């Protein structure tokens, strides 16, 4: 019985030492830590940028913006209509020397179904950052901004803001495929 009590005391002592040592370490080094509020709430949040964004576009709750995969925010009949819209509206910029890769436009759909805070990302076919002919991004961005009919995210019968994206697979400046 005495042996069991000694083991419990040793275990308790060991755990207290670990906890105390960890606390001391944290206290000695807390000047190294960055304040948590200096980071966005979520990785990839699109903060308002006066140089890029329409000041008339507002999100309903900046602390809760769902990702595209969290809920069913979508475009009317989604892929079919979006692909049809872009393939019929986009006038390709012929770029035989390049223009191959992926151009993604990411944006927010607010709780009213309005869109804003558009950002453009361009990658070559090896998924490395690249700059396509500026007319390509400009035309696709303009068409994306003009696209109406987005449905806000709905969760428990309440509308929310959400992120969405459209990726264009480009071949010599023309649209080969609209993703997802």
Same domain, 95 and 175: yes
More confident site: 58 or 176 = 176
Q: Is the pLDDT of residue 153 over 70?
A: yes
> How much of the chain, in percent, has pLDDT values that exceed 70?
64
Chain centroid to Cα 124, Å, comes to: 20
Task: Answer whether 0.75 is exceeded by the pTM.
Answer: no
Q: What local confidence, expressed as pLDDT, does residue 72 receive?
A: 57
Instruction: Provide the pairing of β-strand 158-171 with 65-66.
Output: parallel
Longest dimension (CA), the chain: 86
pLDDT tens for residues 76-107?
A: 557 788 889 999 999 988 776 678 999 999 99
d(CA 55, CA 69): 27
Q: Is the pLDDT of residue 159 over 80?
A: yes
Region at 71 (left for phi over 0; alpha for psi -120 to 50; beta for the rest): beta
Same domain, 103 and 157: yes
Same domain, 29 and 112: no
DSSP string for 61-109 = -TT-EE-TTTS--EETTTHHHHHHHHHHH------TT---EEEEEEEEE
Same domain, 83 and 146: yes
Same domain, 154 and 109: yes
Lowest mean pLDDT of 30-44, 65-79, 137-151, name the range: 30-44
Q: Which residue has the tokens 């453009």?
A: 120
Dihedral angle of Cα 57, 119, 139, 80, to the nearest 10 degrees? -90
Same domain, 26 and 107: no
Q: What local confidence, expressed as pLDDT, does residue 48 receive?
A: 65
Q: What local confidence, expressed as pLDDT, does residue 62 receive?
A: 75
Same domain, 129 and 163: yes
Q: Please, how many CA atoms are within 13 Å of residue 110, restricted to the half-sphere of its CB? A: 13
Same domain, 21 and 45: no
Phi, psi of 158 (to 5 degrees): -125, 140
Same domain, 43 and 4: no
Same domain, 140 and 83: yes
Lowest mean pLDDT of 21-30, 123-132, 144-153, name the range: 21-30
Same domain, 88 and 171: yes
Q: What local confidence, expressed as pLDDT, does residue 28 receive?
A: 45
Residue-number span of the structural domain to which 53 is assigned = 38-179
Same domain, 87 and 10: no
Instruction: State how many domains the chain has.
Output: 2
Q: Is the pLDDT of residue 123 over 80?
A: yes
Inter-residue contact 161 to 111 (CB < 8 Å): yes
């Amino acid at each position: 019985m005495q042996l069991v009590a000694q083991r419990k005391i040793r275990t308790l002592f060991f755990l207290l030492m670990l906890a105390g040592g960890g606390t001391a370490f944290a206290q000695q080094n807390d000047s190294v830590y960055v304040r948590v509020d200096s980071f966005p709430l979520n990785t990839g949040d699109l903060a308002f940028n006066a140089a890029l964004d329409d000041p008339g576009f507002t999100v309903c709750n900046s602390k809760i913006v769902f990702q595209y995969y969290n809920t069913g925010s979508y475009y009317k009949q989604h892929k079919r209509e979006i692909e049809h819209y872009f393939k019929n509206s986009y006038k390709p910029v012929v770029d035989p020397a390049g223009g191959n890769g992926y151009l993604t436009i990411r944006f927010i759909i607010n709780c009213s179904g309005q869109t804003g805070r558009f950002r453009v990302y361009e990658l070559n076919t090896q998924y490395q950052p690249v700059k396509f002919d500026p007319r390509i991004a400009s035309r696709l961005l303009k068409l994306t901004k003009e696209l109406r009919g987005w449905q806000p995210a709905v969760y428990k019968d309440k509308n929310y803001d959400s992120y969405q994206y459209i990726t264009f697979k480009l071949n010599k400046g023309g649209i080969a495929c609209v993703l997802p």
